[in-house]
Amino acid sequence: AGPALPGLFTDDAALVESTRGPLRLVAALQPLNAAVFVGDGVLQGAADFDYLATAMAASAAPALLLLSRVGSGVETSLAA
């Protein structure tokens, strides 16, 4: 994750440097994303939408719980 992509959007060298870690994480997760997309396609092709809906709800629930806690903390800090 070099400075080429972020460098298209800003001239700030510190900002470009701060994007290296997140971009490396995104790049590292791409093979996992590909496997998930293939699995989704296979299950959709097999018309197994009930399993997909259950899996989506099960994976979204913890994320929504964590986001609700983070969101309430942000609102509290903004109000203070």
* Residues 11-59 pLDDT 10s: 898 998 898 888 889 999 999 999 989 988 888 888 888 888 898 899 8
Residue 30 has what pLDDT?
Answer: 95
Is the pLDDT at 5 greater than 70, yes or no?
yes
Residue 31 has what pLDDT?
Answer: 94
Residue 48 in tokens: 């197994």
CB atoms within 10 A of CB 3: 13
Residue 75 has what pLDDT?
Answer: 54
* Rounded Cα–Cα distance for residues 4 and 16 (Å): 9
Question: Which residues, 6+ apart, have CB-to-CB distance to 6 below 8 Å?
Answer: 15, 16, 19, 23
* Rounded Cα–Cα distance for residues 8 and 3 (Å): 9
